Structure 1
Amino acid sequence: MFDMNPLALPDAQLQQWIMLFVAGTLGFIIGYVSRQRTIRHLEGGLAGTVRELDDCLRSPAPLAVAGSPEEVVVLNRIAARSGELNLDRIGYASADEADDLKAIVGVGPFLERKLHAVGIYTFRQIANFNQEDINLVNDVIEFFPGRIERENWVGQSIELAKKR
């Protein structure tokens, strides 16, 4: 009497193909948007990790110095400000490459430790100082203004680097 078979309609197959196409398209769009959101999230996390790694590589390790507690406090305070120096321009060096900075007239043992605290280990680095670097190093290592120029650290470092 009453036949309700939807497959008996003349355009049933066309309707099924259209629904299959729409479902596939919607699935693709939803998957694409979800994947892009996941990629953005992962790239943000990667950028944060890269920044943390750069900060870790640029900041010197905490100082383990045998000396008076006041000296350790001063060196740690100076090390905390080491990021203010432009080591990209001056040059990077490690404690393994360290020159005897006390060979520069005016640099004593404590001042050498201060320079090491900010990442300055070699004559080559000091030879690369410009006026801005000199002023900044004076400020960061809490040294007498003008003394680096008066004692000609840059010139002495150039000569000592050549001898090395």
Structure 2
Amino acid sequence: MSYLLEQYWGWMLVAGILGLLVGWIVTQTERHVRWVAGWLHGALWLFAIGIVVAVLKLLPGRAGLWLETALLLFAAYLVGCWLSAWIRSMLAADAAISTTGSQPGTRAAATDAAGVGSRPLVMEQPTGPLDNLKLISGVGHKNEAVLHELGIYRFSQIAQWTEPQVHWIEHYFSFPGRVEREDWRGQARILAQGIETEFAKRVRLGEVDTSED
């Protein structure tokens, strides 16, 4: 193995850089993150099997050499993917802090949230009318304003939150468990389809006032 490291360190460097680039590109959206996670799950199993075959020397001669070389290059590629994903998560956390740091108390909330779950994907402010997020029971004037500051304007964004993203939001707002308890995602899924929930209907009819929170 040390012989391979000496001979192929340049190719390992190339594989690592390729992993950095690919990891950086494919982690831009949650859909691609899920796809990569599923692909890597199977790839890691194959990698583990390859390690066993290499250690036990089940492939003799040139075939065994090719296997060990492929394992080294793939390991370098995986390290590159992981490193780029880690860098992107750190940049996202810093962006959350710098975006909200000028408001009282929000810097501490962003700092706490940075270590819990993962920040939801953001979008540029749409040019058309924004969704009325206050139609979600539990989202009032203040919470809607903060969601807008986080780049969340649509019911569809909330409907697509993953569990780690829900945890991030709950800790960012300093109300752990509330998003799940009030079922923001479930309400958002219905509203995103153009269907009124009972709460939204009551708001439209003026039967209830949206909260200040």
TM-score tier (shorter): 0.3 to 0.5
Q: State the TM-score, normalized to the length of structure 1.
A: 0.46
